[in-house]
Structure 1
Amino acid sequence: MITRRTHVTLLAASLLLTGCGGGAVAGTASMPTPSREPSPPAPSPESSVEVAPRRIPGLGPRTWARIPDGTRQAVVVTGRGRDSPDSTVVLYQRTAAGWRPGAQWPAHNALKGWSDHHLAGDLRSPVGVFTLTDAGGLLKDPGTRLTYDRGVGFTSPGTGFEGEPLAGSFDYVIAINYNRRPGTSPLDWTRPMGAGRGGGIWLHVDHGGPTHGCVSIAEKHMKELLLTLDPALRPVVVMGDAKSLAR
């Protein structure tokens, strides 16, 4: 009989070689003279134009300060709670009018939620702002402007925490530059902060359950992300539970 702990251990081992939310006022007895309400003023041309926010909603000053100057694309991952594996993803693009959001996509993050000090094997996703420079996958390049590495190293065997098959999870991945060397394949295992701080944190195809530390979205949304991200716009991912992002 395989216990849950044994299952988690086996799963972690199977992924080792890959990657990985008023009252009325009383009046007199006489009848008041009817008054006519003034007509509301016609909207000015300026007020009728939709203006995008100058800052991304939900991000506090501490988080905002970590977004590099010149960034014009931000993938915002908002976790449902500190210990929740459920989150949403929105791609924001900066225009002359401000930051404009794309569609909101459902996503998964790590099984145990989020951490400000991610460690290898803690089953939490790291909170922070990280650049996005490199992609890859088991399938051929869909046409991304990011550097793309295709190979069998992106095979994802086994099952997830809820018994769901992991096959296809790494068909498309985008490396999150947490404890890795930018400009290399997502499969590169260089860990500048040391192996104890974990790594292999990716955006990848959702398999229907929590991850070890990555963020996962539907395959069609991964393809859209790959086709939209542009290194010239210095894209980043801003990720964490809602309370952490609001700091």
Structure 2
Amino acid sequence: MKRKLKMVFWGLCMAMLLAGNISVCQAAAAQTTSKDQAGGEKPGRVSLKSVSVVSGDNMRITWNPVSGAQRYQIYRKQSGTWKKIGTCKSTKLSYTDKTTLVGAKYQYRVRAYAKIGGKAVYGTFSKASAVVTQNFYGKPVSISSVKSSDPKTMEIKWKARAKATGYVIYRRTEDTAWKKIKTVKKVTSYTDKNLVGGTAYYYTVRALSKANAKAGITKTLYSIYNKNGVKAVAMRDKWEQLLYDYSNDGETNQLVFVKYTGGSSAKVEMYQKSRTDWTCILACDGYVGANGIGKQIEGDRKTPTGTFNLTSAFGIKKNPGAKMSYVRVNKYLYWCGDAQYYNRLVDVREKPHVCSGEHLIDYVPHYYYGMFLDYNKDCVYKKGSAIFLHCTGSNPYTGGCIAVSQDNMIKIIQNAEPGAKICIYSM
């Protein structure tokens, strides 16, 4: 009986002991699970997806996600040495290397890491990428503006490429191929000179990166370029612009240019139009007012500035073969300076009065031949009157008219048709 009681007692003790050990094991197991949840497992090995040139002339590395990773480290190899170049969170699976040099060769590798128990635990590095060259990204230089500020120049502006060490500017016309006109350093504008006003030009720009032996760059690289280019028309000078403006005007087939050169001197040219093309048919010296051009008021001895109609021919001598109407001057004709008939041709037989204007027949040899202009056609009193194109006299100036030799005056009269204009401006 006593022996049975002992066996029961020891059985109960063993059961209690076993129960205690199970609790200890469960507690240890629970503690281990808690550490794993807090620190995570050692990250696996990263697998690279791609390494490629991207916008900005940079290099982008991408990879597949790794379980257990809290962050990723990116390494780059150049000239035989690996160097960490960046770190990113585990939610990001790409990295853009913005510190590359165009033309240099690189390799990349990535590894994951995590903190377990307060210590950094690193996964195995990915396999190194193939050797890649940082080229210019497949995008042309962006031209922001092409503008002509005078008849012979064009300013080209473009957006900078951060890794360019210079730029090459090319130009073409409608009839010519692309031609390199300048290589510049790290600037973003260039002024092209010696152009022809009114001509359409096309421009394109390439970025370049020079060879750099210290960085292992063996040759100069160039970006692609816009093969169409950006078009702009070179500004015309005032004379080219006038020809252009009247090229499609069916009512104007002759233009007389009075190009003021200073003092009372001018160059006089006459242009004849055929369809839309102009030909210079006369070029000679001429004179303007004693005080130059820019007439403001009667008596200032200046020739008006502007474009005016040649309304008709006139002369003391007989008609030399004018295509326009011709007024043969006689003793009754005046160009009136009185308020009542200011700046008008008056026959005093028709409008009897003592005229204070120019008695045309008295102006010899100036009015042997001439043409009337419609300056001050509204006949504003004292604004200026009797402005003509006529023959030169003995003086190298006029009182406000334009004068050429008699031979050239006859040629102008013989060619001028209704609609002919005279343009008076400074050179």
- Taking structure 2 as the reference length, the TM-score comes to 0.36
The aligned residue for residue 224 of structure 1 is 411
Q: 1:90 to 1:61 in 2, by over 3 A?
A: closer
The aligned residue for residue 249 of structure 2 is 69
Q: CA deviation at 1:195?
A: 1.9
Q: Is the 8 A contact 1:63 1:129 kept in 2?
A: no
Q: Is the 8 A contact 1:88 1:107 kept in 2?
A: yes
| Counterpart pick for 1:132 among 302, 307, 310 | 310
The whole-number CA distance in structure 1 between the counterparts of 2:403 and 2:288 is 7
For residues 1-247 of structure 1, what are the structure 2 equivalents within 5 Å? 58-59=237-238, 69-70=249-250, 71-81=252-262, 84-96=263-275, 98-115=277-294, 117-152=295-330, 153=333, 154-157=360-363, 167-180=364-377, 192-208=378-394, 209-231=396-418, 234-242=419-427
The whole-number CA distance in structure 1 between the counterparts of 2:286 and 2:249 is 27
The whole-number CA distance in structure 1 between the counterparts of 2:279 and 2:240 is 19
Q: CA deviation at 1:101?
A: 1.1
Structure with the larger strand share: 2
Q: CA deviation at 1:58?
A: 4.0
Q: CA deviation at 1:215?
A: 0.3
Q: CA deviation at 1:65?
A: 9.0
Q: 1:66 to 1:196 in 2, by over 3 A?
A: farther
The whole-number CA distance in structure 2 between the counterparts of 1:203 and 1:66 is 23
The whole-number CA distance in structure 1 between the counterparts of 2:409 and 2:379 is 28
The whole-number CA distance in structure 2 between the counterparts of 1:102 and 1:66 is 19
The whole-number CA distance in structure 2 between the counterparts of 1:110 and 1:66 is 27
The whole-number CA distance in structure 2 between the counterparts of 1:108 and 1:123 is 12
Write the deviation string for residues 3-62 of structure 1: whole angstroms up to 9, x where unpaired. Answer: xxxxxxxxxxxxxxxxxxxxxxxxxxxxxxxxxxxxxxxxxxx99xxxxx979x741698
The whole-number CA distance in structure 1 between the counterparts of 2:245 and 2:298 is 23
The whole-number CA distance in structure 2 between the counterparts of 1:229 and 1:238 is 14
Write the deviation string for residues 178-215 of structure 1: whole angstroms up to 9, x where unpaired. Answer: 013xxxxxxxxxxx241211111000001142101100
Q: Is the 8 A contact 1:156 1:169 kept in 2?
A: no
Q: Is the 8 A contact 1:66 1:129 kept in 2?
A: no
Q: Is the 8 A contact 2:291 2:301 kept in 1?
A: yes
Q: Which amino acid aligns with 2:259?
A: T
Q: 1:196 to 1:62 in 2, by over 3 A?
A: farther
Q: Is the 8 A contact 2:266 2:285 kept in 1?
A: yes
Q: Is the 8 A contact 2:269 2:283 kept in 1?
A: yes
Q: CA deviation at 1:64?
A: 6.9
Q: Aligned-pair RMSD on alpha carbons?
A: 2.8
Write the deviation string for residues 64-112 of structure 1: whole angstroms up to 9, x where unpaired. Answer: 798693322100000102xx10001100112236221123111000000
Percent identity of paired positions between Structure 1 and Structure 2:
23
Q: Which amino acid aligns with 1:176?
A: L
Q: 1:63 to 1:128 in 2, by over 3 A?
A: farther
Q: Which amino acid aligns with 2:361?
A: T
Q: 1:214 to 1:66 in 2, by over 3 A?
A: farther
**Larger RCO, structure (CA 8 Å, separation 6 or more):** 1
Q: Which amino acid aligns with 1:92?
A: Y
Q: Is the 8 A contact 1:54 1:99 kept in 2?
A: no
Question: Gaps (5+ residues) in structure 2?
Answer: 1-174, 177-196, 200-235, 334-359
Q: Aligned pairs, how many?
A: 166
Q: Is the 8 A contact 2:271 2:282 kept in 1?
A: no
Mark the structure with the bigger radius of gyration.
2
Q: Which amino acid aligns with 1:197?
A: K
Question: Gaps (5+ residues) in structure 1?
Answer: 1-45, 48-52, 158-166, 181-191, 243-247
